[in-house]
Structure 1
Amino acid sequence: MRGLARLVTGVLLGVAIAAASPAGAQDKVKMGLFIASSAMPYFIAKERGYFAAENLDVEGIPIANHPLIVQALVKGDIDTASNLISLEGANINVLRPGTANYFSINCQNTTWRLEAFMVSAKNTTIKTLKDLKGQRIMCAPGPGNLFVAKGVLKKIGLEDGRDYTMQEQQMSNHIGAMQSGQFEVAYSLEPVVSMLEHRGIARRIESGVIATHLLGRPDACAVLAGGVMSDRFVKERPVVAERLARAWAKALKDGNEDPTARDLLNKHMNVAAEIAQTVPLSRYFMVRDLTPQQIADFQKLTDLAVEGGVVKSKIDVRTFLKRF
């Protein structure tokens, strides 16, 4: 009888250890991806085994735009997202607190360039943003991208509807739309910006426009996207969330410091190998590593979005920043 008791105790102990240990079976996690260079950390962590080292099977699910990412988080179709645009994250957190907890953020400015206004290479008259008066402009998709693109032009005196028109298009359409002449001007994102230049389809008018024109400093931390986890995921699977964050931190470090990580742009985003090493990237930060100034920059951009009606009411960004 004592032998049987010891056996049962041993089995239960073994089960408990297996459940608590990272050495057990892989935990499945669903991560939404908006395919732009800001999604690079996912591909780094996947390809370099950082997820696997934490016994995670992270499924990347491409999603065409940020409102659909928000919808998937609300419905529980995904647990996390690699690069949800910050203003749409802020807005859903006003409406449904805890929907999108940012555990990493991407800074972009004139040094860490992600966004740019582009013009057809055939056009020889448009030199500056002020020259966009009278133009029909294509924009990266989603309310957040539309807000910042229009906001930048407003800062230099151009009003939507009066001085130009703007239409959102999926990122997969940008190259074809510029090449065919459907649009002559675009507000676009990397790596598409570099691909347009490399193929001789378009030239850059100005990069880092959010930091320069909306935040007022070329070196400001324009937080336009970042990694998020849903409140449900963090509360119901806290150990898995911790392990995901550990893997993610390694991927961010590689993205910031290891040039060979850029090879994944060629593999996963159709960037020509010869320009993969020169495509500008945003700077990746775990939330725990943000400076007070970077958080203040994030707050300023969010406050501007409240004034613009993209975020429904004022919110303290610190309420949805998650430190691991």
Structure 2
Amino acid sequence: MQRRDLLAAGLAAALPAWGYAQTLEKPKVTIAVGGKNLFYYLPLTIAEELGYFKAEGLDVNIVDFAGGARALQAVVGGSADVVSGAFEHTINMQFKGQPMRAFVLQGLAPQIVLGVNPKTMPSFQSVADLKGKKVGVTAPGSSTHIMLNFVLAKAGLKPSDVSVIGVGASNGAVAAMRSGQIDAISNLDPVITLLQRSGDLRVVVDTRQPAEAEKVFGGPMPAGCLYAPVPFVERHPNTVQALTNAMVRANKWIQRAGPGDIIKVVPESYLLGDRAVYIDGFLAAKPALSPDGRIPPKGAQTAFRALASVDEKLTAAKLDLNAVFTNAFVEQANTRYPKG
């Protein structure tokens, strides 16, 4: 009986791939991401490394860029189909007349930390002190840049009051802070935890905790997600469903996983040479990762307010915020994989 049960379980696990292989409109999908090693995108890596995409009949190619803005450019330019990126880009793209739709969430909160360099700003008192300073972001136009602008606006500063420098999301960002090339940084884990551990960062704003993120943004601020041009989503519903299924399974696996489980799955390069720091970063980021892929209904309004605070043209725009996301695929995925 035990052997029969194991065989049955194996057959059940294989069924999704057989079923979807016949109906997928586009089995080969290219996903563009900006900073794949970040915990912000951990569900994407887990889905890839644990074979969840393959289980859905998908052949997924993930292309990594220096930041979310560049990943978005890849989809706009046609070299990728889907973006694994920040939710707020869907709002900006509708405003630009190139509508995008998010269909599965990776992050409940932005996980972005704004901190200053203790070496170059030892007398830092408030965000207003950043005027005239050099601030590192993953890439200009990315979510780290958007949050920086939002925090500056709340302090009465304009985006042009600081010099923004793209430093990436890995060792280059760490080196830029430690060498004093930048006075502050808007970045994510594991970069942030690595800088904290070495005393090269003083945290000013921390959105790794969903409650703190809601205080900063005034509501739920959805973060990493999979999104694509609306025509792609509408023409490839089975493909989008398969992508969503894989991501929801990854989300749920992460919620059950301990640091040791994560270490075994992610590529060695993600650890930035220090496993202990990576573990600390995972524990700090885990509360901000989505447990089930659902996008909070009020999230689009929060993201719009944040963007509008630094873009007067957006403030006056009449956008359909319900069109920038859907939970329809996520609901089906949670029904299909209630336990991941």
TM-score category by the smaller chain?
0.7 to 0.9
1:25 and 1:198, CA in 2 relative to 1: closer, same or farther beyond 3 A?
Answer: farther
Aligned partners of 2:34 and 2:64 also within 8 Å: yes
**Cα shift at 1:251:** 0.5
Q: Deviations over 1:150-183 (max 9, x none)?
A: 2213313445555x54434333431111121111
Mapping for residues 262-301 of structure 1, pairs under 5 Å: 262-263=262-263, 264=265, 267-271=268-272, 272-279=274-281, 280-281=284-285, 282-284=288-290, 289-290=294-295, 294-301=296-303
Aligned partners of 1:146 and 1:168 also within 8 Å: no
1:77 and 1:166, CA in 2 relative to 1: closer, same or farther beyond 3 A?
Answer: closer
User: Which residue matches 2:103?
Assistant: 102
User: Which residue matches 1:34?
Assistant: 34
| One of 45, 48, 52 as aligned partner of 2:47 | 45
Counterpart secondary structure, 2:124: coil
**Cα shift at 1:126:** 2.7
Equivalenced residues, count: 298
Counterpart secondary structure, 2:108: strand
**Cα shift at 1:149:** 0.8
Q: Aligned letter for 1:99? A: M
TM-score when normalising by structure 1: 0.77
- Normalized per residue, the structure richer in strand is 1
User: Which residue matches 1:195?
Assistant: 194
**Cα shift at 1:220:** 4.1
Mapping for residues 52-201 of structure 1, pairs under 5 Å: 52-82=54-84, 84-108=85-109, 114-122=111-119, 124-126=122-124, 128-132=126-130, 135-143=133-141, 144-161=143-160, 164-172=162-170, 173-201=172-200
Q: Deviations over 1:236-283 (max 9, x none)?
A: 332222122111100011223322453245635234211222212232
| One of 309, 321, 324 as aligned partner of 2:325 | 321
1:87 and 1:131, CA in 2 relative to 1: closer, same or farther beyond 3 A?
Answer: same
> Equivalents in 2 of 1:311, 1:49: separation in Å?
43
Q: Deviations over 1:198-236 (max 9, x none)?
A: 344333333129978985468942223321133343333
Q: Aligned letter for 2:124? A: I
> Equivalents in 2 of 1:129, 1:211: separation in Å?
21
> Which structure is larger by alpha-carbon Rg, 1 or 2?
1
Q: Aligned letter for 2:31? A: M
Deviates more, 1:225-234 or 1:124-133: 124-133
The root-mean-square deviation of aligned C-alpha atoms, in Å, is: 3.5
Aligned partners of 2:153 and 2:309 also within 8 Å: no
Gaps of 5+ in 1: 1-18
Deviates more, 1:120-129 or 1:36-45: 120-129
> Equivalents in 1 of 2:87, 2:69: separation in Å?
11
Q: Deviations over 1:48-79 (max 9, x none)?
A: 12112112221111022223222222233212
